[in-house]
Amino acid sequence: MQTPPATPLRLGSRTKLTIALVGAGLWASGGLWLIFHYYLRRPGPWGPEPHLLEPWWLRLHGLFAFAALWLIGLLCGLHIIRAWQSGRRRWSGSVLLTWLLALTLSGYLLIYAGDDGAWGLLSPTHWIAGLALPVIYGFHRLIRFLRRP
């Protein structure tokens, strides 16, 4: 079966692959940071110490986050504006875009809000929303199949 051609509402296969690769890299690097941060700490002379790979997972996550920001901008021009005009899947697209913007804002604040109280609230909010993102994205992609008679 041949893939339908790209239109303002349908993204090309390369764009979909880019979204999948950046999304998977972002999700995996964030998830690996969580595992290494919370479950693989090493005992040290003054208490638990971070695993040696923990900062590297965070750096990789930041790299994928930068790529994701670029991709969101690309999608605004290629897909979001034109798809909005069609009226189809507006609410699921709005939820997805709002989710992405909330993740972007919370990630930004995690880097630049130096307050420990803010970090204590933002960190779980960011990683719970990040872990749930594939569900939101999958729903937006698959809702068209749920609406067919």
Top mean pLDDT of 31-45, 113-127, 133-147 is at 31-45
Q: Which residues pair with 105 in a beta bridge?
A: none
Report whether pLDDT(43) > 60: yes
Instruction: Give 87 or 107, the one with higher predicted confidence.
Output: 107
pLDDT at 1 over 60: no
- pTM (2 d.p.): 0.84
Angle between helices 116-147 and 90-112 (to 10 degrees): 160
Residues 6+ positions from 54 with CB-CB distance below 8 Å? 33, 36, 37, 40
